[in-house]
């Protein structure tokens, strides 16, 4: 029986813009009010999906959400027709309108945490959408995300869906950005690695001083319980709080793992040596040989990691024990990082090829290749049970490219968010998209 890791990339939504919404994410705050190109952003994302599909990897698409979110604006007291809701919010609270207009669902590494069937108590693939509770604009994502995931992974014999954790800072959950799975084979039991930023119920754990720690230990533990993971195959680690204060707002900005390999920075975790040795021991128990590739501060500083997004890369298994590393253009533009990468692929280690993508529109909001994808490891029977309309191929790429070119704007500024026409454009596009991807009715405007 064959097994795969499929990557589901977020299709960028029609309202992609730079609103400086994510304190602690230095790209987001640094690019506030830059004029965005939703069309370019979506096409850049699609080009990555198509290239990885063409290279032989299993690739899928996760649909964007309806924005601005009229239900969120109504909940906050803006009333009248949809156009009036937008006009009132634009006048009285433009920052709230911007938060309700973010296309942040494109970063699907934050959509959910996924445990493959070989790890769970009932032999099904388990999904828990992330509550993304630390940022208002992201906290409104999970109900629709949950519906979209259910429309993609419908078959209850293979797939189990949980609601998000309580929407409260104690259970702040950012999904797969803080979760990595190590294994010898994708359909054999693996070690699930949860990285948290702070403990909410235990003051002995340190905290960052400047920027928020979005993920709590207690959220990670709740996910492990919900998915029925075995304690002896779970590892928890605390991210180094100093790195959070340097802009590492998710663990996937400082480390990435796949198969038996963890590619990470010297300053990724507290008690790093103990974390690595626990991973080594637990992976050995399920027949894997753990390989840790550690990048020293002397070669790439934490600041350079944040600028280049070297670790927000994808490691893709070629099936011969070797891995491709997928990095953003920014990693090539920083000389020391590019020199490190060239040394890495020539080193004779497991990572022996690099692919570079231009993802600038997403990068300017702090989202690199890894942020843009949600991984789901599946057996061939499970893959066959996935809604086939969301899987990338030549025809879907052509359809989605034409769809973007037809519906998306070339440029979008903060002032444009007040335009009620934008909501109509978004709904028209998404109504068509749910037919292309055969999702049924998943958006509030379709369910009303």
Structure-block tokens of residue 38? 């939703």
Q: Which residues are catalytic?
A: 174, 250, 371
Q: Is 398 assigned to a binding site?
A: no
Q: What distance in Å separates the CA atoms of residue 130 and residue 107, rounded to the nearest whole number?
A: 12
Q: Is 16 assigned to a binding site?
A: no
Q: Is 22 assigned to a binding site?
A: yes
Contact segment (CB under 6 A) with ligand SUO among 15-23, 115-123, 332-340, 416-424 equals 15-23
- For residues 196 and 290, which CB has a smaller minimum distance to ligand SUO in the complex? 196
Residue 110 touches ligand SUO, criterion: CB under 6 A: yes
Among 26, 70, 109, 396, which residue sits at the site for ligand SUO (rule: CB under 6 A)?
109
Among 3, 15, 26, 28, which residue sits at the site for ligand SUO (rule: CB under 6 A)?
28
Residue 104 touches ligand SUO, criterion: CB under 6 A: yes
Residue 247 touches ligand SUO, criterion: CB under 6 A: no
Instruction: Detail the DSSP E strand segments found in 322-437.
Output: 323-328, 351-357, 373-379
**Residue 85 and residue 74 in contact, taking contact as beta carbons nearer than 8 Å:** yes
Of 227, 192, 224, 221, nearest to 122 (Cα)?
A: 227
Cis peptide before 104 (omega within 30 of 0): no
What does residue 150 show for φ and ψ, rounded to 5 degrees? -65, -30
Among 3, 12, 21, 213, which residue sits at the site for ligand SUO (rule: CB under 6 A)?
21
DSSP 3-state of 328: strand
Among 248, 371, 412, 423, which residue sits at the site for ligand SUO (rule: CB under 6 A)?
371
Residue 131 touches ligand SUO, criterion: CB under 6 A: no
CB of 7 to ligand SUO, least distance (A): 14
Q: What distance in Å separates the CA atoms of residue 331 and residue 313, rounded to the nearest whole number?
A: 10
CB of 205 to ligand SUO, least distance (A): 22
Among 39, 67, 250, 265, which residue sits at the site for ligand SUO (rule: CB under 6 A)?
250
- For residues 61 and 386, which CB has a smaller minimum distance to ligand SUO in the complex? 61
**Residue 390 and residue 152 in contact, taking contact as beta carbons nearer than 8 Å:** yes
CB of 22 to ligand SUO, least distance (A): 3
Cα atoms found within 13 Å of the Cα of residue 409, Cβ hemisphere only: 19
Strand order across the 191-196 sheet: 179-182, 191-196, 234-238
What b/e string do you get for 336-358 counting C-beta neighbours within 10 Å, with b at 16 or more? ebbebbeebbeeeebbbebbbbe
Q: Is 123 assigned to a binding site?
A: no
Contact segment (CB under 6 A) with ligand SUO among 16-24, 62-70, 112-120, 388-396 equals 16-24
- CA 191, 195, 201, 206 dihedral sign is positive
Structure-block tokens of residue 40? 């370019």
Among 22, 105, 150, 220, which residue sits at the site for ligand SUO (rule: CB under 6 A)?
22
Q: What distance in Å separates the CA atoms of residue 442 and residue 445, rounded to the nearest whole number?
A: 9
Q: Is 214 assigned to a binding site?
A: yes
Total binding residues toward ligand SUO, as defined by CB under 6 A: 19
Q: Is 252 assigned to a binding site?
A: yes
Determine the angle formed by the axes of helices 38-54 and 394-407, rounding to 10 degrees: 180
Q: Is 74 assigned to a binding site?
A: no
Q: Interaction with ligand SUO in 341-370: which residues (CB under 6 A)?
A: 365-367
In 217-271, where does DSSP find H-type helix? 217-226, 241-245
CB of 312 to ligand SUO, least distance (A): 8
What b/e string do you get for 310-329 counting C-beta neighbours within 10 Å, with b at 16 or more? bbbbbbbbeeeebbbbbbbb
Q: Is 25 assigned to a binding site?
A: yes
Cβ-based neighbours of 45, under 8 Å, separated by 6 or more = 9, 10, 11, 12, 106, 359, 362, 372
CB of 319 to ligand SUO, least distance (A): 27
CB of 430 to ligand SUO, least distance (A): 19
Residue 107 touches ligand SUO, criterion: CB under 6 A: yes
Q: Is 19 assigned to a binding site?
A: yes
CB of 8 to ligand SUO, least distance (A): 14
Binding residues: 19-28, 110, 137-138, 214, 252, 365
Binding residues for substrate: 19-28, 110, 137-138, 214, 252, 365
- Residues lying near ligand SUO in the complex (CB under 6 A) are found at 18-22, 25, 28, 102, 104, 107, 109-110, 138, 177, 250, 365-367, 371
């Amino acid at each position: 029986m064959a097994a795969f890791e499929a990557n589901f990339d977020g299709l960028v939504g029609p309202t992609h813009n730079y609103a400086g919404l994510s304190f602690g994410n230095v790209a987001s705050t640094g690019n506030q009010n830059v004029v965005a190109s939703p069309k370019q952003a979506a096409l850049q994302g699609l080009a990555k999906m198509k290239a990885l599909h063409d290279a032989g990897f299993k690739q899928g698409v996760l649909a964007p959400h309806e924005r601005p979110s009229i239900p969120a604006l109504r909940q906050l007291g803006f009333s009248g027709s949809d156009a009036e809701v937008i006009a009132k919010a634009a006048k009285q609270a433009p920052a709230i309108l911007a938060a309700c207009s973010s296309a942040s669902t494109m970063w699907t590494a934050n959509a959910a945490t996924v445990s493959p069937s070989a790890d769970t108590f009932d032999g099904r693939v388990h999904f828990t959408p992330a509550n993304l509770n630390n940022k208002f604009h992201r906290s409104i994502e999970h109900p629709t995300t949950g519906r979209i995931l259910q429309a993609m992974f419908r078959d209850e014999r293979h797939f189990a869906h949980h609601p998000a954790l309580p929407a409260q800072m104690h259970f702040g959950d950012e999904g797969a950005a803080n979760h990595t799975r190590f294994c010898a084979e994708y359909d054999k039991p693996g070690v699930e690695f949860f990285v948290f930023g702070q403990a909410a119920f235990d003051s002995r754990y340190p905290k960052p001083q400047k920027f928020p720690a979005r993920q709590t230990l207690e959220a990670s533990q709740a996910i492990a319980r919900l998915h029925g993971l075995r304690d002896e195959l779970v590892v928890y680690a605390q991210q180094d709080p100093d790195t959070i204060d340097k802009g590492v707002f998710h663990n996937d900005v400082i480390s990435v793992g796949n198969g038996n390999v963890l590619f990470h920075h010297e300053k990724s975790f507290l008690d790093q040596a103990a974390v690595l040795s626990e991973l080594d021991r637990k992976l050995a128990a399920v027949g894997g040989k753990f390989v840790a590739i550690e990048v020293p501060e002397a070669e790439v500083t934490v600041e350079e990691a944040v600028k280049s997004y070297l670790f927000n890369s994808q490691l893709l298994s070629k099936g011969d024990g070797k891995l491709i590393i997928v990095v953003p253009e920014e990693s090539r533009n920083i000389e020391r990082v590019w020199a490190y990468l060239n040394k890495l692929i020539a080193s004779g280690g497991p990572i022996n090829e690099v692919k570079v993508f231009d993802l600038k529109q997403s990068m300017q909001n702090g989202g690199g290749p890894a942020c843009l994808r949600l991984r789901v490891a599946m057996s061939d029977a499970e893959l066959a049970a996935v809604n086939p309309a969301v899987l990338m191929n030549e025809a879907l790429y052509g359809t989605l490219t034409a769809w973007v070119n037809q519906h998306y704007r070339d440029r979008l500024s903060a002032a444009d968010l007040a335009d009620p026409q934008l909501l109509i454009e978004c709904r028209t596009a998404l109504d068509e998209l749910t037919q292309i991807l055969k999702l049924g009715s998943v958006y509030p405007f379709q369910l009303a």
